[in-house]
Structure 1
């Protein structure tokens, strides 16, 4: 059984259609890269999976359970952890408060998150608004892990970060992969993304146009669909 099964979904912004039959599947323990140029439907697909922007048609199954009629908080409780684009930490809460606000029992504890991101332990009592952008991104990842998800979704987790912080985030992603966590990741840095991905799914104009393993994503395909 697939952990996530996205079947022919169509999603609209008001009267404007954004997704036209997007479909892909991922198994437990896989890292899947969701790829495409800007504006091709990657973030909309993620919002649809989390039911933040419910599809108008199609079906989505998580661990065999259909999620389309579930409110976003119930999708999260099924085991979907989202690190949204733009981080969206709670600015007026401390690092510690952000981490424990939505914590659920499981393998990921405060201690494990602090081991993964030691800076969070150092800034335990700081308000989230006072952190650097990179530290806020670590906090967003840590907050999602504290929900003990079966699927972690990362939407542009390294965008706009300093190179040293980007490496910290990629190191964490590799650690999570080695730990067996299923990850759906959107990122533009192919040199970092492809080595960690088991499979790739490419979107263009709101449609799934290609899927395969990183070693079969040829230079021609990259140029055609990713603008490289």
Structure 2
């Protein structure tokens, strides 16, 4: 059984339909790339999974449980950790306070998170608002890990960051894949970095799943058609 399954999911913003037919299946321990050009429904799909948007059709299940009637906080407690687009750290809380705000029992604690991102230990008592963009992204990832999820969703986790920080975050994602049994859903555009960690890929176009399969089967022709500028 898949850990996360979306079947023919539709979502609308009022009278405007955003997702028309999104389907995907992610197994425990897998890393999946969710891809597509800007505005094709990737973040909307993530919001639907986390129940921050109502689903108007189709089904979303996590570990066999239907998510359609659950509020977002219940979905999080099932074991879905989200690193949202734009980071959204609590600006007036310290690094440590951000990390413990939503912490749940499990192997991921302050010590382990700061082992993955040592800079957070150095900034422990610093307000999140005073961190650099890269440090805020590390904090957002660390905060999600502190919930001890079975599925970690990262929505554009490296967008707009300096190259050296991007490398740190991709290295952390590789570590998570190598050393944990966590499933990871990655929304990103970088084929090179995704190719180093992703097992499978799903491509969206205009709110529909148009391709899915093993990442290594993603040809230049397919990526040029659905992902390239």
TM-score in same-fold range (> 0.5) = yes
Q: Deviations over 1:9-44 (max 9, x none)?
A: 100011100001100101000000000000000000
Structure 2 residue runs without a partner (length 5+): none
1:189 CA drift (Å):
1.0
Distance 1:162 1:48 in 2: 30
Distance 1:193 1:82 in 2: 18
Distance 1:184 1:215 in 2: 16
1:218 CA drift (Å):
0.5
1:167 CA drift (Å):
0.5
- Whether 1:76 and 2:76 are equivalent positions in the alignment is yes
1:180 CA drift (Å):
2.0
Number of aligned pairs? 228
1:156 CA drift (Å):
0.1
Distance 1:109 1:28 in 2: 21
Which residue is 2:5 aligned to?
Answer: 5
Distance 2:72 2:140 in 1: 17
Distance 2:84 2:22 in 1: 20
Calculate the TM-score normalised by the size of structure 2: 0.99
Name segments (4+ residues, structure 1) moved above 3 Å. Answer: none
Q: CA RMSD in A?
A: 0.6
Calculate the TM-score normalised by the size of structure 1: 0.99
Question: SS state of the match for residue 55, structure 2?
Answer: coil
Which residue is 1:166 aligned to?
Answer: 166
Give matches, 1:84-103, under 5 Å. 84-103=84-103
1:214 CA drift (Å):
1.6
Which residue is 1:221 aligned to?
Answer: 222
Structure 1 residue runs without a partner (length 5+): none
Which residue is 1:115 aligned to?
Answer: 115
Distance 2:187 2:194 in 1: 9
Distance 2:212 2:60 in 1: 18
1:181 CA drift (Å):
1.2
Question: SS state of the match for residue 93, structure 2?
Answer: coil
- Whether 1:142 and 2:142 are equivalent positions in the alignment is yes
